[in-house]
């Protein structure tokens, strides 16, 4: 089975993972909770760092597709402008802290023995 069980041995690792996830969520809470309309009504665009504003102004939407991919082997393409380090760091955090979406066969003998 390819899922994590929470037990005495895995508890510290799960606790650390949740703490890291919480740090990322708190850092970006203002934009996670934002509605698209907030970018117009509350001027969220100007709350973004200048480097992100310049990047998103210069980049084509097709150049951003790599960010949505959870395929770790897929490299970011050459963009028309330099990708800000904060955006690359966020992408790495999302990839490393995301729960893998893999089907688990609950009827298998391996799973039933847990």
pLDDT tens digits along 66-79: 777 756 555 555 56
Domain residue limits, the chain: 11-112
Q: Is pLDDT above 60 for 44?
A: yes
Least trusted range by pLDDT, from 38-52, 60-74, 79-93: 60-74
Range 14-48 burial, b when 16+ CB lie within 10 A, else e: eeeeeeebeebeeeeeeeeeeeeeeeeeeebeeeb
Give dist(CA 74, CA 12) in Å, integer: 31
Average pLDDT, the chain: 80
Task: Please give the backbone phi and psi of residue 2, each rounded to the nearest 5 degrees, phi first.
Answer: -115, 60
**Residue carrying the six token digits 């665009």:** 45
| pLDDT score, position 41 | 86
Q: What is the pTM of this model?
A: 0.67
Share of the chain above pLDDT 90, in %: 14
């Amino acid at each position: 089975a390819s899922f994590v069980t929470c037990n005495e041995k895995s508890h510290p690792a799960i606790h650390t993972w949740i703490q890291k996830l919480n740090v990322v969520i708190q850092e970006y809470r203002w934009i996670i909770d934002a509605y698209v309309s907030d970018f117009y009504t509350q001027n969220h665009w100007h709350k973004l760092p200048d480097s992100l504003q310049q990047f998103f102004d210069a980049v084509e939407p097709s150049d951003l597709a790599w960010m949505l991919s959870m395929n770790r082997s897929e490299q970011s393409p050459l963009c028309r402008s330099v990708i800000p380090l904060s955006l690359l760091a966020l992408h790495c955090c999302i990839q490393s802290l995301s729960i893998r979406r893999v089907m688990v066969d609950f009827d298998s003998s391996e799973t039933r023995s847990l």
